[in-house]
Structure 1
Amino acid sequence: MSSSPTTSAAMLSALRRARSLLPGVADYSETRRSWPKDLLAGATVGIVALPLALGFGVSSGLTAEQGQITAIVAGLLAAVFGGSHVQISGPTGAMAVVLVPIVAIQGAEAVVAVTLIAGLIVVADGLLRLGRAVSFIPWPVLEGFTLGIAAIIFLQQVPFVTTPVDSAPGEHSTNALVAAGQLIGEADWSYLPYSLTAVAIVVACMLIAPKIHPSIPGSLVGIIIVTVLAALVPNPLATIGEIPRSLPVPSVPDIDLGAIGGLLPAAGTIAALAAIESLLSARVASSMSDSGAYRPDRELVGQGVASIGSSLFGGMPATGAIARTSVNIRAGGRTRLASIVHALVLLAIVLAAAAPVGQIPLAALGGVLFVTAVRMVHLTTVRAIMRSTRSDAVGFIITALITISFDLIIAVGIGMVVAAAFALRNLSRATGVTIEEVSAGESAHPGDDSISIVRFDGPLFFASSDRIFDEVMELDGIVVVILRMSQLELVDASGARILAEVVHAFERRGITVLIKGVKDSHVDLFRHVGVLGALRDNRHLFDDLPSAIEHARSHVERASTGSR
Structure 2
Amino acid sequence: MQTSLVFPAHSDRGKVKKMDLKSFFQADVPKTITCLREGYRFKVFTADLIAGLTVAIVALPLAMAFAIASGASPAQGLYTAIIAGFIISAFGGSRHQIGGPTGAFVVIVYAIIMRHGYDGLLLATLMAGAMLILMGVFRMGTVIKFIPYPVTTGFTAGIALIIFISQIKDFLGLPIETLPAEFIHKLMVYGGSIHQISVHAFVLATSGVIIILACRRYVPRLPGPIVVVTLGALAAWFFGLPVETIESRFGSIPNSLPAPSLPQWDWQKVQAVFPSALTIALLAAIESLMSAVVADGMTGRRHKSNVELVAQGLANMGAALFQGIPATGAIARTATNIKAGAMTPFAGIFHSLFLLLFMLLLAPLIVKIPLACLAAILVVVAWNMSEMKSIRHLLRAPRSDVVVLFTTFGLTVLIDLTVAVQVGVLLASLLFIKRIIDVSNISPVNLQAFSGENEERHDPDATEHKQVPHGVEVYEINGPFFFGVADRLKGVLQIIRKPPQVFILRMRSVPFIDATGMHALEEFHQKCERNGTQLVLSGVSPNLEQKLRRYGFHAAVGEANICPHIDCALARARAILEIPAGSVKNSAPEGLGQ
TM-score with structure 2 setting the length:
0.82
Match of 1:381 among 390, 401, 420: 390
Task: Return the alpha-carbon distance in structure 1 between the equivalents of residues 563 and 68 of structure 2.
Answer: 72
Deviations 1:250-298 (A, max 9, x none): 23145254665345444444333323322332233223223x3222232
The 8 Å contact of residues 441 and 479 in structure 2, kept in 1 or not, is answered as yes
Matched, 1:146 2:156: yes
Q: Rate the CA distance shift 1:124–1:461 in 2: closer, same or farther, 3 A.
A: closer
Match of 2:331 in 1: 322
Task: Return the alpha-carbon distance in structure 2 between the equivalents of residues 84 and 503 of structure 1.
Answer: 53
Match of 1:526 in 2: 548
The 8 Å contact of residues 162 and 195 in structure 1, kept in 2 or not, is answered as yes
Matched, 1:55 2:61: no
Match of 1:173 in 2: 180
Deviations 1:299-324 (A, max 9, x none): 22322332333334322222111111
What SS does the aligned partner of 2:193 have?
coil
Task: Return the alpha-carbon distance in structure 2 between the equivalents of residues 182 and 72 of structure 1.
Answer: 37
Match of 1:456 in 2: 477
Match of 1:97 in 2: 107
User: Does 545-554 or 320-329 show the bigger shift?
Assistant: 545-554
Deviations 1:226-267 (A, max 9, x none): 222222334332111143361134231452546653454444
Matched, 1:77 2:87: yes
Q: Could you tell me how far 1:51 is from its partner in structure 2?
A: 1.5
Q: Could you tell me how far 1:67 is from its partner in structure 2?
A: 1.1
Q: Rate the CA distance shift 1:113–1:450 in 2: closer, same or farther, 3 A.
A: closer
Match of 2:427 in 1: 418
Spell out the pairing of 1:398-547 with structure 2 (5 A cutoff).
Answer: 398-436=407-445, 450-480=471-501, 481-529=503-551, 531-535=553-557, 539-546=560-567
Task: Return the alpha-carbon distance in structure 2 between the equivalents of residues 518 and 67 of structure 1.
Answer: 58
Task: Return the alpha-carbon distance in structure 1 between the equivalents of residues 162 and 407 of structure 2.
Answer: 15
Task: Return the alpha-carbon distance in structure 1 between the equivalents of residues 395 and 180 of structure 2.
Answer: 31
What SS does the aligned partner of 2:479 have?
strand
Match of 2:28 among 20, 45, 51: 20
Q: Rate the CA distance shift 1:188–1:459 in 2: closer, same or farther, 3 A.
A: closer
The amino acid of 1:353's aligned partner reads: L
Aligned residues: 543
Deviations 1:454-475 (A, max 9, x none): 1222221110111232245311
Task: Return the alpha-carbon distance in structure 1 between the equivalents of residues 370 and 518 of structure 2.
Answer: 67
Deviations 1:161-216 (A, max 9, x none): 3445xx425x64322x2243033113253434222212210110111112222101
Match of 1:276 in 2: 286
Matched, 1:350 2:359: yes
What SS does the aligned partner of 2:260 have?
coil
The 8 Å contact of residues 253 and 367 in structure 2, kept in 1 or not, is answered as no
The amino acid of 1:139's aligned partner reads: Y
User: Does 501-510 or 263-272 show the bigger shift?
Assistant: 263-272
Task: Return the alpha-carbon distance in structure 2 between the equivalents of residues 462 and 125 of structure 1.
Answer: 27
The amino acid of 1:504's aligned partner reads: Q
Q: Could you tell me how far 1:450 is from its partner in structure 2?
A: 3.9
The 8 Å contact of residues 144 and 400 in structure 1, kept in 2 or not, is answered as yes
The amino acid of 2:232's aligned partner reads: V
Matched, 1:86 2:96: yes
Match of 2:233 among 227, 239, 246: 227
Q: Could you tell me how far 1:540 is from its partner in structure 2?
A: 4.2
Task: Return the alpha-carbon distance in structure 2 between the equivalents of residues 223 and 45 of structure 1.
Answer: 16
Q: Could you tell me how far 1:101 is from its partner in structure 2?
A: 1.6
Q: Could you tell me how far 1:134 is from its partner in structure 2?
A: 0.9
The amino acid of 1:489's aligned partner reads: P
Task: Return the alpha-carbon distance in structure 1 between the equivalents of residues 74 and 268 of structure 2.
Answer: 27
Q: Rate the CA distance shift 1:341–1:512 in 2: closer, same or farther, 3 A.
A: closer
Match of 2:252 in 1: 243
What SS does the aligned partner of 2:474 have?
strand
Task: Return the alpha-carbon distance in structure 2 between the equivalents of residues 344 and 554 of structure 1.
Answer: 80
Task: Return the alpha-carbon distance in structure 2 between the equivalents of residues 253 and 539 of structure 1.
Answer: 64
Q: Rate the CA distance shift 1:67–1:513 in 2: closer, same or farther, 3 A.
A: closer
The 8 Å contact of residues 172 and 372 in structure 2, kept in 1 or not, is answered as no
Task: Return the alpha-carbon distance in structure 1 between the equivalents of residues 355 and 431 of structure 2.
Answer: 47
Task: Return the alpha-carbon distance in structure 2 between the equivalents of residues 367 and 302 of structure 1.
Answer: 32
Match of 1:193 among 199, 203, 219: 199
Q: Could you tell me how far 1:389 is from its partner in structure 2?
A: 2.1
Task: Return the alpha-carbon distance in structure 1 between the equivalents of residues 530 and 130 of structure 2.
Answer: 59
Task: Return the alpha-carbon distance in structure 1 between the equivalents of residues 356 and 465 of structure 2.
Answer: 87
Task: Return the alpha-carbon distance in structure 1 between the equivalents of residues 511 and 132 of structure 2.
Answer: 37
The 8 Å contact of residues 515 and 541 in structure 1, kept in 2 or not, is answered as yes
Q: Rate the CA distance shift 1:443–1:308 in 2: closer, same or farther, 3 A.
A: closer
What SS does the aligned partner of 2:495 have?
coil
The 8 Å contact of residues 399 and 411 in structure 1, kept in 2 or not, is answered as yes
Q: Rate the CA distance shift 1:30–1:160 in 2: closer, same or farther, 3 A.
A: farther
The 8 Å contact of residues 32 and 346 in structure 2, kept in 1 or not, is answered as no
The amino acid of 2:107's aligned partner reads: V
The 8 Å contact of residues 479 and 556 in structure 1, kept in 2 or not, is answered as no
The amino acid of 1:236's aligned partner reads: P
Q: Could you tell me how far 1:97 is from its partner in structure 2?
A: 1.7
Task: Return the alpha-carbon distance in structure 2 between the equivalents of residues 356 and 398 of structure 1.
Answer: 44
Q: Rate the CA distance shift 1:254–1:505 in 2: closer, same or farther, 3 A.
A: closer
Task: Return the alpha-carbon distance in structure 1 between the equivalents of residues 109 and 170 of structure 2.
Answer: 17
User: Does 134-143 or 242-251 show the bigger shift?
Assistant: 242-251
User: Does 245-254 or 395-404 show the bigger shift?
Assistant: 245-254
The amino acid of 1:459's aligned partner reads: P
Match of 2:171 in 1: 161
The 8 Å contact of residues 129 and 281 in structure 2, kept in 1 or not, is answered as yes
Q: Rate the CA distance shift 1:468–1:149 in 2: closer, same or farther, 3 A.
A: same
Q: Could you tell me how far 1:44 is from its partner in structure 2?
A: 1.7
Matched, 1:43 2:49: no
Q: Rate the CA distance shift 1:455–1:122 in 2: closer, same or farther, 3 A.
A: closer
Matched, 1:304 2:320: no
The amino acid of 2:176's aligned partner reads: A
Q: Could you tell me how far 1:325 is from its partner in structure 2?
A: 0.7
What SS does the aligned partner of 1:434 have?
strand
Task: Return the alpha-carbon distance in structure 2 between the equivalents of residues 250 and 105 of structure 1.
Answer: 26
Task: Return the alpha-carbon distance in structure 2 between the equivalents of residues 208 and 15 of structure 1.
Answer: 49
What SS does the aligned partner of 1:482 have?
strand
Matched, 1:397 2:397: no
The amino acid of 1:217's aligned partner reads: P
Task: Return the alpha-carbon distance in structure 2 between the equivalents of residues 20 and 215 of structure 1.
Answer: 35
Task: Return the alpha-carbon distance in structure 1 between the equivalents of residues 197 and 384 of structure 2.
Answer: 27
Task: Return the alpha-carbon distance in structure 1 between the equivalents of residues 346 and 576 of structure 2.
Answer: 78
The amino acid of 1:518's aligned partner reads: V
Task: Return the alpha-carbon distance in structure 2 between the equivalents of residues 517 and 19 of structure 1.
Answer: 38
The 8 Å contact of residues 563 and 569 in structure 2, kept in 1 or not, is answered as yes
The 8 Å contact of residues 158 and 180 in structure 1, kept in 2 or not, is answered as no
Matched, 1:334 2:334: no
Match of 1:208 in 2: 214
Q: Could you tell me how far 1:425 is from its partner in structure 2?
A: 1.0
TM-score with structure 1 setting the length:
0.86
What is the identity percentage for the equivalent residue pairs of Structure 1 and Structure 2? 32
The amino acid of 1:168's aligned partner reads: I
The amino acid of 1:400's aligned partner reads: F
The amino acid of 2:483's aligned partner reads: F
Q: Structure 2: where are the runs of 5+ without partners? A: 6-19, 448-463, 580-594
The 8 Å contact of residues 500 and 530 in structure 1, kept in 2 or not, is answered as no
